[in-house]
Amino acid sequence: TGEDGYEISIPKQDAERVVRALLSDSRVKPVGLGARDTLRLEAGLPLHGNDISPTISPIEAQLAFAIAPSRRLPKINSDGSQTAPAKTGGFPGSDTVLSQIAKGTSKKLVGLISKEPVPIRAHAKIVNAAGQAVGEVTSGTVSPSLGVPVMLALIEIEALGGSLSAIVRDKALPVEITKLPFVPKRYKR
């Protein structure tokens, strides 16, 4: 749920020794990828390969904040003048990313919540009130903290103000766009 935590990267030859040392403390319990995935989803954190990928840009995934201001397009000031960053671009995919920052995108990654007690998983289609496909769930689970299904979904910008449903087993389940994170952070920076 976005709680304080650690990710440890170590050489594989040291992994068993480090894991055994950690597990020797009775306060430490092992968890699997399912728990990690649930926690990151409750925190509204996108996962590479699901919510950001070669076909979902950092801008569509709402990750523009992670691009250093010195690498972004010039800022347009209120008088119409431009303030140029020191080094625009210069990173893989910068042409696409900088174009999307300047012109916007046709899709956006958003948080969705459902009151239906049915898990809504990745690849479920999102439809508008007319039944037209307007997006797709990229990650989804039932939140243990909230007791309801939560999802990240890539939705067409034009559909964001309207009524949406997720298609699960040929049934339309109403979903609502919600602010991220799904579960508020309780850690200190």
Calpha distance 25→23 (Å, rounded): 5
Given a cut of 70, is residue 2 above it in pLDDT?
A: no
pTM over the 0.85 mark: no
pLDDT value for 98: 87
Amino acid residing at 179: K
C-alpha–C-alpha distance, residues 139 and 40, integer Å: 10
pLDDT in tens, 9-61: 999 999 999 999 999 999 998 888 888 899 999 999 999 999 999 999 999 99
Long-range contacts of 135-142 (CB under 8 A, 24+ apart): 135/107, 135/159, 135/164, 137/112, 137/166, 138/46, 138/50, 138/51, 138/56, 138/109, 139/37, 139/41, 139/46, 139/47, 139/50, 139/51, 140/41, 141/37, 141/38, 141/41, 142/117
Contacts of 56 (CB under 8 A, 6+ apart): 107, 109, 138, 154
pLDDT band for position 79 (cuts 50, 70, 90): confident
CATH of 12-46+106-182, one of 3.30.2350.10, 1.20.1440.230, 3.40.50.720, 2.40.30.110: 2.40.30.110
Residue-wise pLDDT tens digits, 126-136: 999 999 999 99
Q: How confident is the model at residue 67 (pLDDT cuts 50, 70, 90)?
A: confident
Query: Domain segments of the chain: what residues?
Result: 12-46+106-182, 64-103
The whole-number pLDDT of residue 81 equals 73
pLDDT of residue 178: 98
